[in-house]
Structures are given as C-alpha cells and as structure tokens.
Structure 1
Amino acid sequence: MNTRWQVSVYLWLCVSCVGIAMNASYAAQENNEYVPIERAKQQAFSKPKSALISRAVFNKEQPVESVLLSPDGLKMSYVIKENKRKQLWVYDIALDKHVKLITAHNLENLSWTADSNRLVYVDAKRVVFVGLSKQQLAQTRYRLSDANTLFVKTDSYNPDAFWLLKYDVSQSMYSLIKVDSHSNLKKDSHFKRNSDEQSDSHSHSKSDSHSKSDSHSNESIQYRSPLPIMNFWADKKAVRFVSLMGNDYQSIVQLLADGEREIIKCEVFDTCKIHHWSAQTHTLLLSGQIDNDTATLHAINTKTGIKKAITTENSPPFDASQFFVSPEGKPFLLGYETQYVHYEALTPNAEALLNRLTSRISDNIYRFTPDKSLTHWLVAEEDQQSGNVHFRLYLAESDTWISPLSHIEPSQTDATWSALRVPIQYQASDGMPLFGYLTLPSGYKASEVPLVVFPHGGPWNRSHGSYNRISQFMANRGYAVFEPNFRGSTGMGQAYMTSAQRDFGNGRVQQDIIDSVDYLLENGVGRADRLAIVGHSFGGFSAINALAFTPDKFSVAFAAAAPNNMSDTIRHYKSSIPAVFLPMRLPRFSALMGDITNRQDVSYLYEQSPDKHWQNIDKPLYMWAGAQDDRVAIEDVREFALRLHADGKAISLVSDAREGHSPNSSLAKDGYLYLLERALFSHLHGRMEEKMTPSLTRYFDKFTSIDTNGVSN
C-alpha cells in the first residue's frame, strides 16, 4: 500500500552505504540460525586461497538502481547511471519494450502516479512529471520554495496530486499540504509558488480537519501542527490519521469532523507507521513495537480501543520491516530481516504465493515488492558472493517469471574469491547474548590470521546478512573480520536497542565491541598480537575510542567520518541540517544517547569520549574525512588530528575537499580503500595491491593533510 511515509531518523550512514547497495537487503537461507564458530572455521579453511582481487572490483557500482513496479503492475521503471547523470527508463511488460524517457542530474523521490501513467521525481527543487513515451516531455509542476519544504509522495488516488510537508520556522508550525498540479500545468509548466503569494486563508489551527484551498495555487493545507508530522494516512477525501512526534512520545491521532482523538502513544524511538484504515470496521493497521518487544503489525479498533498484535507462532524475535496489506485492507504478509531473511504469510493465499515466490529463489539476498493488487511482484536478488543485484518479475496470475533487465545486469559469475560470511552469537561480559557476522579468509587457519573488528555506523543501525564489500575486501587481504551488532543496534527489538542505556563512549556499547574480540580470540579466531579496529561514522568513533580506552589491545585503527565527541557532533548536525528535521530527530537522540541542552548529559558524553582521553592514544591512527560532511564537522576532525600530531603521535588524515559523509566519486572510493588497505598492511602484515595509479597518487598528494604513517611511501 503506497499510503505511508516516514522521515528517516538515522543521523549517520552505516559503512555499507559508502558503496552502492540495496536500500534493504535480505539473505535467503532455509534456516535463520547462528553458525557454530568451529564449523565456520573448517569451511573457510577447506576453501582454496583466493587470488588478490583489485580494489576496483570491490568499488564497482551496480548498473541499475531505483527499480520500481507501477501500481497496476504492468510497467517497471529503472535508472541507469551515465557518468554523473542518470537515465530514467521504463519497461512495458505487455509489449516487452524498454523506453528511455529522460536524462537528469538527480532523480530524487522517484515514484509512480496513482494511474501508473507517469513518473514523478525531484531535481534541483523542481517537482517533475514524466510521461511514458519520448513524445511526452518532462514537465515541471512545482518548485519547492526552500529547504524546509519537503516532497513527501504522490497521492494514492489523484494522478496529478502530490503531498508536501512544510515547516514555518517563524511560527514553529508544520503544514501537510496537498498540491493538485493539473491546473498548474495549464497555467505554467514551470509553475513556481513563492511564500509571499500564499494567502492568509491557508492558516489553520491544529484542530482544523477540513482543507482550504487557494484558487490561485491549487494547494490545500490538509493539516497543521506545532508537532512534527511523521507520517499520515489519507483517503480520497481527507487526511484521517497523523503521527505526531512529541518530546516524550509519539501520538497516533485520528482527525474527526468535530476535532481530534488520540488513538495510541508510541515511544519516540518506535517507528509507528500508519498503513491502512477501514471506516466500516473501524480497524487501523499500524506497524511498530507498541506493547511488544519487537515490531509487527497491529490492528486497533478506533472505536473501542482494543488492539491486537498480528503475529504467528513462527514469528522470529526480530522487528518486522516489510508490511503487506491486501486491497481489502487485510494483513497479508510480513517480512523480517533476521540473521538472513524470513517472510511470514498471514493468510492461506499468502502462504501459497510465498511458496511460489521462494521456490525460484536461490541462496541469495532478496526482497519482494508487489503492485497495489498483490498480483505482480518485483523480486530483487543480490548474489551473496559477488554482490551483483538481479531483478525479476513474478506474474502470479499466470505463474510467469520475467527477467526484463538481464541485458544490462552483470552476468551470473562464480566469485570463487568470495570469503565465507556467517552469523554467530556471542555473550557479552555482563551475560547478554549478542550477535554479529564473521567473515573468514579462504584457505587460512582462523587462529593464524589477524583479526579486524568492524562496528557499524548509526549507532541506531545494524549489520546485515547481506554482501558487505568492505568485509569481503579485508578478508581478501587475509584478515578475519567481525561485525558486532552491539546493544543499541536496531532490528532485534526494543530491549536490544534500549539496553545500551545511553552508555556510549567508553561505556556498555564499547564494551560489547571489545567483548566480541575477546570471544573470538578465546574460540580460535585471530591473533591477539595482530588486532585492528575499523569503522565509519559511529563505527569510526568506536575505533578512536578503542585506541583511547584500550590502548594496549589494538595495533592500528582506521576511522572514517569519525566523531571524537558525540555531543559536539549532535550540535554540528543540529546546525547543518534544515530546521524541518530537528524536532523530528532530537527527541530520539535525547531518549537514546543524550540531551545536548542538558549540562549533565553533555558532560557525561565528553568524559566518556576520546576527545577527553586523546593522550592515551599511542597506536597508529588512520583517518578519512569529507570536507562537505553535514554530519561530522570537518573542523572537529582536523583539530583532533592536529592535536595528536602536535603531541608526536602516529596519525594520518586524508581530508577530501569534494566529498561528504561518505566517498562518492570513483577516485575517492579508491582512495578510501587504499588508505584502509595501507593501514592494515603496515601493521597487521596481510596482503596489499601496492600499485598506485597516477590519479590516485595525485589524490593523496592533494588531500593528505597529515601523514606520519607514510601512507604514500
């Protein structure tokens, strides 16, 4: 059902986002189980040693992205990258025909219109409608006025309408706006709305449940609130439900003719997405944790208040992350990202369909996305050995499979160099069971190879069961790699996430990471005299933490886009992002990490940070940073590196003036991997592709700010 929307709450990208990856990946396994370490060690040792694979292989990009099935299931759109531009294509299933529509710099918020006859995207603040033939020109239907006006989605009923969320900074007021762009097009194909043109008649109080329109703009404010509108549900006539973010909780509110009624409260860190409402049965379908530890779909009777969690006896102890509802508004299918993947059928028809879908899925990573009627399904499979993504269509009515993109997708190859990667469970020093993913180099005794611990970013994120190019890269160089899902990680339920108890820095979360290393060493994985810690964003913070608080444990650390004091990073993030996002995200930061307006919280974060304890660092540190990073201030990174350098510590800093939080260009990605490779090779003595291209040499000459480690030597 395409009637839901939610602004992302994660402030930092996980390291897997450095490359091109699926937005959400699931690895197909018959049994979602943890693998015993001894079995993994034997399997990895029995494989032949792999050849040294070029960095370029690990940096390769997928040729196709943003694949979308139309609401009627008869067409599929996709994007092909062409240098720095993107081509938008459409495939007609009945005609078996591909048509190139446009080429643009950006295709943000790409989505289908309700009638499946056009595509909509945002580029340079323009909302653009694109017809499905070369004869139909792309038409600018609207221009977003500023950074605090967000395109939300196309309307589920009117093919000319779409939704915006606007934040008025002067009034501290959010407005949910519906725009009917049909007459905008008649008047001006490059229609632009300025804030000065908006009539005072648009000003509604929070309790207004009916929309008012400006005859000149065809915009109607459907709802206003001083609280952030996180998501909403609307039928053909009006908005019926909204989710509002408060300082202490989220409220799911029903909008009635005579006012508003709160249906349920959710924790600020719960997703609480509205999926469907039936006026006949008064049933609201809402996903989230709510009264459960793990997220699932909930049916709430809005008249009686009775709620029921929709689970089965086979539901795994993980948060459901995909929710499929039938056209009649009945729960149909749930998707879970477990150690690998699990789909749970909720009806006999869903079970029959799921059996047909999974019967043609190999042991790869996959994700299902249906059309509106749940009859045509887009299946995205990612090869767990190579990371290549393949898209297929399943037409349930005729039990037919189609591979429409086989002519441009990478061929199915046997990536014999790929290392074994398995989920393992371990116990933290305080007894809590945790898990992560272990990657072992092929053909080596696990006890004889160096060990790299690789904590994910976020921190409210997780390591997945999918292909991880950085882990595979390090394993190819001869290192065992472990990605711990420390407490605070998401996807494993509320208790797993909140048990961090805001104890970041040199606290419980960092101890979970150290405990994973100790567990592996005790079980014959890695050498205690050759340990490294590698991370990006929050993972980079953890890497610097390790050198500051456990200086005798690791031989070297690699930290990319890394904060050194979380309170400073939150302040920078607060000052660098559009104001529209702040009230949405800060309550979750306050609940899960710390309130930067509270002196005690700020002091605690500083006392537990490497910013305070930097003098303890006595092992080599390699850092990469993007000067355009809007999450981690480049000034803080440089000041920290200069402080270490002035004290005679071994520090290298590569600061790319053109990049943001993660490397984006091919050259920056190559430089990123080379810096990581050099750090591990110099101190753990694995393998290395030492040859530097002239362009890579120039890259380091240009962007290396500090280098006492001899990166380019």
Structure 2
Amino acid sequence: MNLFPLRAGARMAVAACALLSAIPCAVAAPDLQDYVAAERARPVAPVLPRSAFLQRGAVVAIRLSPDGKHVAWLRDRGDRREVWLRATAGGAPWRILGDTRADALDWTRDGAWLLLRSSRDLQALAVNGQAGSGRVATLGGTASPAMLDIDPSQPSAVLLVEREGPAAAPRSWRLLRVDMRGRRTTLWQDRQRIVDAVIDAQGRLAWLQRVEGGELVIHRMVRGAPQPVLRCDPSRRCALRGLAPGGGAWLRTDVQGDLSRLVRLQVDGRIVEVHTDPQRTADVDEIIEDPVERQPRFVAYRSTTSQLYALTPHDDAHLAALRAALPGRDLDLQPGVGIGARWLVEAASPQAPLRRWHLYDPATRAVSPLLDDVPLDRRSGEQGTALDATALARPTAVTWSASDGRRVHGFLWLPPGRDAARVPLLVVPHGGPWNHWKPEYRALSQLFANRGYAVFEPNFRGSTGHGRDYVLAARGDFGYGRVQADIVEGTRWLLDQGVGDRERVGIVGASFGGYSALLGATFDPDLFKVAVATVPPPDFGWVLRWVLRNPEALEIGRVVPMETWLLGQGIDVADKATMARLHAQSPLANVARLRRPVLLVAGGEDRRVGLAGVIEYAARLKLADKDVALLVDEQAGHDGGSPLAREARAYLIETMLHRSLGGAAPVAPSADVRTYLRRNLRLPGGLAPP
C-alpha cells in the first residue's frame, strides 16, 4: 500500500526461490499459452471462505542462534505473544516467555541473549541461565533511538543511532554501543545524520555513512577522522553491509551500474563487483551473511523470479542439497557457524499462505522438518483451518513490450480449471509507486482467483526491483502518461493473448494503485468497466505537497529530505508546470469524464493520503451524478485498519465486482460486518448489505 519509497539502507529480509520443478513457484513461463493450458487442465477450485484469505501466520519471527544450536521464535496467541526455544539437536520446544510486545527477534553474537524488539523498546532475555534479563534501551520517543545492528565486535552488545534535538531541527546524531545491562558508549557523534556504520574486530568505527547536503556519503575512518570515499546521489542505492577483508566494506549498490548488486568498496574508493544477477534483470534483494564474521555467503534476487546463489563452491554444494530436498520452494537461509551447527531453512511458495521451517545439517546434508506455521483468524486470534494449497492459483511471470519498445514485467494469476478467455480480468497495480510485486503469496490475488477472476499485476516502469534505469524511466510521468500507459498496454496485450473477457475488465488498487485504478476508469472506460480504489490520492501532485507539509514527510524521508529524493525520481514539487500537469491529468480534475462505477475506501487516521481529499473527490462525483460508493473508517490508517475493516472491505470489493463484471456472488456477510458497513458506508452506491 505504500505511497512512498522504502528507506535507503534498509536491511530487507526476503526469501529466494529454488527453481527446479514446476510445483508452486512463480516462474517466467517460456510460453504463456503453455501456462494457460496447464491451468485450464487443473480441477476447478472449490469456493473457499473469504475469512480464510484474511488469516495470518502464528509465527511472527524466527531466528537461529549464531552457533546453530538453538532456534527461537515469537508465537502469536491472539491476545499475547510468546517466546519459544528449541535445541537444533532435538527434543521438544519450550516456552521461555509467556507475554511480550516484541515483533522482532535477534541473537547477540555469543548466543547468550535473545533480543526482543518492539517499536517501544529493546529487551534482553537470558537463555543460558545467567541473570540480567530486562530492558536494554528505549526506542522511539523524543530522541528517536533506533537499533542499527548487532555489534559484530562484542560478545553481547548492539549498535544504536540516536538523535539529539527535535526531529525538524536536530542538533546532532550519536552512534552508540549498548550492552545487555543498558550501559552506553558513544562511538561517534556527528552534526550530520548518521545512516549506517561498520565496526572493526577491535570495536572501532571503521566506516561511516551519513547524509550530506542531500547525498549519502560513505566515509572511511582514518586516524579517528572520516574521509569521504563514495558519494551517492538520491537516485542511487548505497547500503553498507559490513567489513570486507583488507579493510574495505561490503556494499549493496547500483553505483557505476544499473542493477543493484553486491560489491566490495576498497579503501581507495574503487568498486569491485562480487555478484550481480546472472540474467541481468533483477536487483539484489537480500544478502545472507555468516552470523559471526558477517561475511556474505549467499545473494538472493526477487523480481520476475526468485533466485538464490552461493558465493563459494562449498556453499553451492549445500544449496544444491537443499534444492534437491525442497524442490520448487522459496528458500530463505540462516546458516549457523561452528562444530555441530545446523542451518535454519524457511520454505515458502506463492501457492502456500503458510511457511514451513526445516533444519539442515551441513555435515550430513540431511534436511529435517522443524516447524509449520499455524493459521490464525485475524479477528478472533483463534487457530483457523489452513487453505488447501492444491486449490490455489499458481502465478506466472509475464513480460510484454510497451509501445516505446521497453520490456515491462508483471505477474498473472489464473483461476484453476477455467477457460482463461472467458473469465473476467482484474488489473491490480501495486502501491508505492516505488515498489514492486514479487513472486510470493498474496492473499487478495488468491481470493480473486478463487472467485474466478484472472489477476494481472503489472510492474510498470517506475517500479523497483529491475534496476535504476527501470525506475527512472518513469521520468516523473505519474499522471495519465507513460506509467499508466504501461498498465493499459499490458492489459490489452494480455487480452490479445486470449486471457480475460474484453467486456469484463476491472482495475483494483490501494494507495498509488488506487490512484491508477481511478485513472483507468476515468481515461480508459472502454477498457476498464469498474474501479476499486483504497486510500487513493485523487491528485498525485496534491498529495505529495500535502505530505511534505506534515510530520509524515519526516518519517518517509529518514535518510535524505523527501523533496531531494523526489527530485532524483524526476518530480519537482516546486515546479509549477509539473504540478499543473499532474493536476490536469488527475482523476480529481476529470470528474466529468468518469462513466464507470467506482468504489472508494478511505481512513480517518491516514497520514499519507488525506481523508479530506478523498471526500472532496467523492462529493464531486456525487454532485455530477456519477456511480460512486464511499467507505470511510475514522479509525483506519493507510494500512487498512482492523481485521473487521479488512473483512468488510473484501466483501464490498466482491460485491462491486459481481455487480459490474458478473463475477461470483459474494457469500452474505456476518452480522458484525453488516453493522460495520451500515456505520461506515457514507455513500452506499448500491452496495449496502441486506
């Protein structure tokens, strides 16, 4: 749903896919028609309960100790979260903490402490019987301290970055080492914002990354003073990963290239490429490191397909053994280090809503099951019934040529056992817009496919994951221009391939995806017969300026000022001509052109898309006698609100699509969903429940 970019330098955890068989992985079909035929040959899926697609897994986080001897996980019980521990050598797991607010887990380097991290604080939990469990640091608050990393030089310490002064005008930034007793040591203090740091084996600051005049600048520390080595402009990605042999730094970057890749930054500023996507189509998505020495061991890519590569022949042999044992699965690895160490292996699939974890013994190359995730009902917190993966859709990656010749990427989900040419087609642009669909499980797309819709997810230009040139190719043209043309042309291309009924095409999206849905219904009504827009900016330029005037911009622009970052993407919010063009091409300025039904959903606590703008747009549509329904949840934010709100929204979307495209009729909602809709449907638009 994001309307804005991911923070630079974020350490994003993703899975990678072992593509060895045609089981559930999303693969780039060499022939779209082969995929269509294969899905047609499958049994027709039974209609599954709407609530089953709204379930979540019980395992919130899971981590292997650095020595590979223990696995810890956070287990959601609905009204509380528990911490569980199990020895990798065998035996039953045991609960070591019955109630915590944590949403993330880490181990200290020596494996003696579990770190429980929430938005409020960082807690240390002793696992070897030692005393001292308790709060290590308060997170957030006025000084906004944030955990940067585990300290790789100390047995039991973490690195924090803390601000001194108000967010709008900070006086300085501090890099802190904090031990398990909460004792703080200042490693560096700077007037510039500290973004990242690398510590050497002696515990000294070796590399420093900070913001300087809108640029990310990486410094090498020489005799206690920072010396600039690499400057990254706001359109580039530069993320420090750790200390490389010879005193250099590991870096994930697209500097001196198009694709983001793993490189070694030498002390003299030279960049040595270590690994890039062999297919030359995808950015690095994850770098998996040795948990003790912090050296890279595996590199994952996730764009059209998910791929995992080992950096040494030794690890490549282990990866081959894992692929043979778990064919066709997305693999995420946590290798342990030392004698008797096991690895933790997460196996996932676009066709499986729940993950499974296995233990791998590198000495014997044996794989054994450890833990299966458990579905929880989002509303009650009670354990639910897992969806049958064999009845779910299997997505495929698709690529088409835009009218200007650029190759554009996306995904297609087909309902099993149906004639692809006769089913309604739903187009689902992603939010962001600086984001991208990945080959992974998505509940909403699976719900639509189960209801008999083909689902097309375009990764239009401007999307991430396919290199810097792909992102910048949008050239700020986010009105009814080149970006929207990719979506429209991709939809027409799919129809030309025999996918979808031309008379039953709809467009559904959230945030920027909702904005795109409104553009589609407004400017291409011959193609899109209905639009569903959740938390949509009716005028993209207006919402950018609105966000820049409120504290949300400080959160979004944590690394460089948001205005500077937008300039790097080709959008100058201070340029009157640019803003006038975006407004002239906006759904808000073209109400009179709309002649298709629209469902709008907005939240009263949304800090990224102002509620007032959505209400104004809905009012203009109503005054113009347009077919519009509006749901406003005063308690919901940009993320969609409560579980009840999500279920009610899913019912409304099903109802809207049934009415406009002749899709499957929705199962009647429960009494509390009906009550919620009666309270929050400001403009029913014919969607009020019976």
| Residues 577 and 298 (structure 1), Cα distance of their counterparts in 2 relative to 1, 3 Å cut | same
Match of residue 271 from structure 2:
307
Structure 2 CA distance for aligned equivalents of residues 577 and 116 of structure 1: 37
- Of 449-458 and 577-586, more deviation after overlay is shown by 577-586
TM-fit CA distance, 1:372: 5.7
Match of residue 4 from structure 2:
11
Structure 2 unaligned segments of length 5 or more: list them: 7-11, 22-26, 376-383
Question: What letter corresponds to residue 364 of structure 1 in structure 2?
Answer: R
Instruction: Verify: 1:148 aligned to 2:144, yes or no.
Output: yes
Answer whether contact 1:26 1:466 (CA < 8 A) is retained.
no
1:477-556 equivalence runs, <5 A: 477-556=451-530
Structure 1 unaligned segments of length 5 or more: list them: 1-7, 14-21, 185-216
Residue by residue, what CA displacement relative to the aligned partner does 1:80-109 show, whole Å, maximum 9, x if unpaired? 212243222222224634232334463144
Question: What letter corresponds to residue 490 of structure 2 in structure 1?
Answer: S
Match of residue 646 from structure 1:
623
Match of residue 699 from structure 1:
676
Answer whether contact 2:260 2:276 (CA < 8 A) is retained.
no
Residue by residue, what CA displacement relative to the aligned partner does 1:551-586 show, whole Å, maximum 9, x if unpaired? 332111011121112233234434133736535251
Match of residue 678 from structure 1:
655
Equivalent of 1:259, from 208, 225, 246?
225
Answer whether contact 1:110 1:119 (CA < 8 A) is retained.
yes
TM-fit CA distance, 1:593: 5.0
TM-fit CA distance, 1:438: 0.9
| Residues 271 and 101 (structure 1), Cα distance of their counterparts in 2 relative to 1, 3 Å cut | farther
| Residues 411 and 358 (structure 1), Cα distance of their counterparts in 2 relative to 1, 3 Å cut | farther
Instruction: Verify: 1:45 aligned to 2:57, yes or no.
Output: no
Instruction: Verify: 1:120 aligned to 2:86, yes or no.
Output: no
Partner-residue secondary structure (3-state), 1:342: strand
Partner-residue secondary structure (3-state), 1:405: strand
1:454-469 equivalence runs, <5 A: 454-469=428-443
Structure 2 CA distance for aligned equivalents of residues 656 and 252 of structure 1: 44
Match of residue 193 from structure 1:
none
Instruction: Verify: 1:434 aligned to 2:427, yes or no.
Output: no
Answer whether contact 2:45 2:450 (CA < 8 A) is retained.
yes
TM-fit CA distance, 1:138: 4.8
Answer whether contact 2:325 2:367 (CA < 8 A) is retained.
no
Match of residue 180 from structure 1:
178
Structure 1 CA distance for aligned equivalents of residues 408 and 481 of structure 2: 16
TM-fit CA distance, 1:589: 2.3
| Residues 589 and 270 (structure 1), Cα distance of their counterparts in 2 relative to 1, 3 Å cut | same
Residue by residue, what CA displacement relative to the aligned partner does 1:304-329 show, whole Å, maximum 9, x if unpaired? x3322123794542112222455667
Structure 2 CA distance for aligned equivalents of residues 377 and 316 of structure 1: 29
Question: What letter corresponds to residue 222 of structure 1 in structure 2?
Answer: W
Match of residue 356 from structure 1:
321
Question: What letter corresponds to residue 509 of structure 1 in structure 2?
Answer: V
| Residues 376 and 229 (structure 1), Cα distance of their counterparts in 2 relative to 1, 3 Å cut | farther
Answer whether contact 2:355 2:373 (CA < 8 A) is retained.
no
Match of residue 345 from structure 1:
310
TM-fit CA distance, 1:508: 0.9
- Of 128-137 and 336-345, more deviation after overlay is shown by 128-137
1:168-317 equivalence runs, <5 A: 168-169=165-166, 171-182=169-180, 184=182, 218-220=184-186, 222-226=188-192, 228-235=193-200, 236-246=202-212, 249-257=215-223, 259-278=225-244, 281-303=246-268, 305-311=269-275, 314=278, 316-317=280-281
Match of residue 9 from structure 2:
none
Structure 2 CA distance for aligned equivalents of residues 373 and 171 of structure 1: 47
Answer whether contact 2:88 2:342 (CA < 8 A) is retained.
no
**Percent identical:** 25
1:51-130 equivalence runs, <5 A: 51-94=46-89, 96-104=91-99, 106-123=101-118, 125-130=120-125
Partner-residue secondary structure (3-state), 1:344: strand
- Of 167-176 and 522-531, more deviation after overlay is shown by 167-176
| Residues 597 and 385 (structure 1), Cα distance of their counterparts in 2 relative to 1, 3 Å cut | same
Equivalent of 1:29, from 19, 27, 41?
19
TM-fit CA distance, 1:666: 2.7
Instruction: Verify: 1:628 aligned to 2:605, yes or no.
Output: yes
TM-fit CA distance, 1:497: 1.3
Partner-residue secondary structure (3-state), 1:609: coil
| Residues 230 and 607 (structure 1), Cα distance of their counterparts in 2 relative to 1, 3 Å cut | farther
Partner-residue secondary structure (3-state), 1:492: coil
Match of residue 577 from structure 1:
552
Partner-residue secondary structure (3-state), 2:350: coil
| Residues 527 and 295 (structure 1), Cα distance of their counterparts in 2 relative to 1, 3 Å cut | same
TM-fit CA distance, 1:133: 7.4
Partner-residue secondary structure (3-state), 1:420: coil
Answer whether contact 1:99 1:133 (CA < 8 A) is retained.
no
Residue by residue, what CA displacement relative to the aligned partner does 1:437-488 show, whole Å, maximum 9, x if unpaired? 1111222221111111111111111111122221111111111110011111
TM-fit CA distance, 1:171: 4.5
Structure 2 CA distance for aligned equivalents of residues 147 and 84 of structure 1: 30
Structure 2 CA distance for aligned equivalents of residues 112 and 610 of structure 1: 49
- Cα RMSD between the aligned structures? 2.9
Partner-residue secondary structure (3-state), 2:485: helix
Structure 2 CA distance for aligned equivalents of residues 391 and 10 of structure 1: 33
Match of residue 24 from structure 2:
none
Structure 1 CA distance for aligned equivalents of residues 619 and 337 of structure 2: 56
Structure 1 CA distance for aligned equivalents of residues 333 and 513 of structure 2: 30
Answer whether contact 2:429 2:516 (CA < 8 A) is retained.
yes
Partner-residue secondary structure (3-state), 1:584: coil
| Residues 701 and 53 (structure 1), Cα distance of their counterparts in 2 relative to 1, 3 Å cut | same
Structure 2 CA distance for aligned equivalents of residues 541 and 147 of structure 1: 36
| Residues 101 and 563 (structure 1), Cα distance of their counterparts in 2 relative to 1, 3 Å cut | farther
Question: What letter corresponds to residue 419 of structure 1 in structure 2?
Answer: A
- Of 314-323 and 137-146, more deviation after overlay is shown by 137-146
Match of residue 19 from structure 1:
none
Answer whether contact 1:549 1:616 (CA < 8 A) is retained.
yes
Structure 2 CA distance for aligned equivalents of residues 682 and 137 of structure 1: 61
TM-fit CA distance, 1:513: 0.3
Answer whether contact 2:430 2:510 (CA < 8 A) is retained.
yes
Match of residue 585 from structure 2:
608
- Of 642-651 and 121-130, more deviation after overlay is shown by 121-130
Instruction: Verify: 1:323 aligned to 2:287, yes or no.
Output: yes
| Residues 650 and 313 (structure 1), Cα distance of their counterparts in 2 relative to 1, 3 Å cut | closer
Structure 2 CA distance for aligned equivalents of residues 401 and 99 of structure 1: 22
Structure 2 CA distance for aligned equivalents of residues 573 and 595 of structure 1: 14
| Residues 596 and 525 (structure 1), Cα distance of their counterparts in 2 relative to 1, 3 Å cut | same
Instruction: Verify: 1:385 aligned to 2:351, yes or no.
Output: yes
Answer whether contact 1:283 1:301 (CA < 8 A) is retained.
yes
Residue by residue, what CA displacement relative to the aligned partner does 1:684-707 show, whole Å, maximum 9, x if unpaired? 011133311111111101221211
- Of 411-420 and 105-114, more deviation after overlay is shown by 411-420
Question: What letter corresponds to residue 175 of structure 1 in structure 2?
Answer: W
- Of 698-707 and 229-238, more deviation after overlay is shown by 229-238
Answer whether contact 2:604 2:635 (CA < 8 A) is retained.
yes
Partner-residue secondary structure (3-state), 1:416: helix
TM-fit CA distance, 1:12: 6.9
TM-fit CA distance, 1:330: 5.7
For this pair of structures, how many residues does the alignment match? 663
